[in-house]
Amino acid sequence: MGILNVTPDSFYSGSRTMSSESIDRRVEQMLAEGADMIDIGGYSSRPGADDIPADEELRRLELGIKAVRRQSADIPVSVDTFRADVAREAVTSLGADIINDISGGMLDERMAEVVAETHAPYILMHMRGTPVDMQQHVDYHNVTTDVIAWLSRRVAELGLAGAGDIIIDPGFGFSKTVDQNYEMLRDLELFESLGRPLLVGVSRKSMIYRTLGGTPETSLNGTTIINTIALERGASILRVHDVAQAREAVAVVSKIM
């Protein structure tokens, strides 16, 4: 899953695209490198990022979706939003295929209704609090089992609401310390107990550059290492900034397995 950020303030500066030309170039690059799907974000979840109104988020998502569709009519498009109305409009009017919600429906209680009525596959991510205060909510008894228990409850609740096609995301980097992120990675095979496809998104995140020293810009090698480990431990989807390197990790791990 290639990341297309139509934002001026995402945490990794190399992923920011705002002009039509830069968006087109980014889409062209990801398709050429072998992306299987593209995740478009119009609202940065980086702590300290600007809050923007829903109509601006939709305008950005529309730019991204149109850019993808100009180059591919078939590739699945995911929209990265926690707002139910934005998700509904993106799927029903703009042609998005998948809803990717960092809050697991906790920031907008109407999200379950939208997922059920649109029948869109739903990426259910674990996060506590909001992007602004999430790192104040890291008190777990055991991070892996606590996250699995929460995801299990949310899958059941979404099922009761009529949503069936759910992908799970443990939420690396969201309301977890660096050590807790690596604890979840170590125990990643336990997420198979949920019986759902597993998405892992660690691309260039702070769990990498705080461990190795550096910045998001210097974290490609660490990202590839973790993606490889995640594939070996059951990941079905890698959400990445760097598609070519992720495809190589998939090819090598597939050969081994």
Per-residue pLDDT of the chain (257 residues; tens, 9 = 90+): 999 999 875 554 555 566 788 899 999 999 999 999 999 999 887 665 577 899 999 999 999 999 999 999 999 999 999 999 999 999 999 999 999 999 999 999 999 999 999 999 999 999 998 888 888 899 999 999 999 999 999 999 999 999 989 999 999 999 999 999 999 999 999 999 999 999 999 999 999 999 999 999 999 999 999 999 999 999 999 999 999 999 999 999 999 99
Residue whose C-alpha is closest to residue 231's, from 250, 245, 214, 218? 250
Q: Which residue has the tokens 């590839």?
A: 224
Q: What tokens does 72 get?
A: 């591919």
Residue 239 annotated among the catalytic residues of the structure: yes
Catalytic residue among 69, 239, 247, 255: 239
Strand ranges (E), the chain: 2-5, 38-41, 77-80, 98-101, 122-125, 166-169, 199-200, 237-238
Structure tokens at 135: 């790192």
Catalytic residue among 66, 153, 205, 210: 205
Q: Known catalytic residue: 176? A: no
Domains and CATH numbers, the chain: 2-201 (3.20.20.20)
Output 126-130 pairs: Cβ under 8 A, ≥24 positions apart.
Answer: 126/150, 126/151, 126/169, 126/170, 126/171, 126/174, 126/175, 127/102, 127/103, 127/171, 127/174, 127/175, 128/174, 128/175, 129/175, 130/103
- Which pair of structure tokens corresponds to residue 143? 């991070």
